[in-house]
A and B are shown apart, each in its own frame.
Chain A
Amino acid sequence: EPEVTQTPSHQVTQMGQEVILRCVPISNHLYFYWYRQILGQKVEFLVSFYNNEISEKSEIFDDQFSVERPDGSNFTLKIRSTKLEDSAMYFCASRRLADTDTQYFGPGTRLTVL
């Protein structure tokens, strides 16, 4: 069964550094999402992406964040200058255009900012 994959599984970075988290959505999916979960807290929506543009974004998704679909398979989340509070688990999700109900989540990337 097709799955959403994410790399790396764990990323450690120094405060102020840029990080790029990568996701490969399921191949026939056209809607993509990023969520994050700070340790012990809720899963929070960051951004949704469709047709090469941001569909919706939350207050968390400020100018330090950007998303891109650089090719036909990858979907990336970039954090330009990481802060300690960016430490979290970041989940990518995707869904088919016609199926508005079901988002398929990847296993997550654990980002640790030191």
Chain B
Amino acid sequence: SQQGEEDPQALSIQEGENATMNCSYKTSINNLQWYRQNSGRGLVHLILIRSNEREKHSGRLRVTLDTSKKSSSLLITASRAADTASYFCATDRYNAGNMLTFGGGTRLMVKP
């Protein structure tokens, strides 16, 4: 798989349930970030976790990072219909420009 691959590709849950999305990557990273994209819209930065961190919380979001397995997970608790969107992980390998390498994304649908 390529740098920053998410699974599942699509996830459908009921409102109130938790949603877990996973991301795997191949190279060493400086940090890993999660973005949200509503259909046909721009990218919204959700949360960043640095390579020396293992877990981070922000509101209903919980991100974990396992650098030994080169993987991360994003948990959205108590999901809402408004959480329906695509979620992407992006890795930042330290370089001159700090370019982000995005995964293929998970399409989350939260049914009311």
Contacts and interface: CB of A to CB of B under 8 A. Distances in A.
A5 to B, nearest CB: 10
Contact of A108 (B41, B88, B95): B41
A3 B94 CA distance: 25
Interface string B66-84: 0000000000000000000
B99 A43 contact: no
A101 B92 contact: yes
Interface string A86-104: 0001010001000011111
A45 B94 CA distance: 14
Contact of B41 (A42, A56, A107): A107
Contacts of B102: 35, 42-44
Contact of B97 (A33, A41, A105, A106): A33
A100 B44 CA distance: 17
A82 interface: no
Nearest to B104: A42
Contacts of B4: 42
Nearest to B3: A42
A31 B41 contact: no
A52 interface: no
Contacts of A107: 41-42
A73 B104 CA distance: 32
B48 A56 contact: no
B93 to A, nearest CB: 11
A81 interface: no
11 contacts: A43-B43, A44-B102, A45-B99, A48-B98, A89-B40, A101-B33, A101-B98, A103-B100, A104-B45, A107-B41, A110-B40
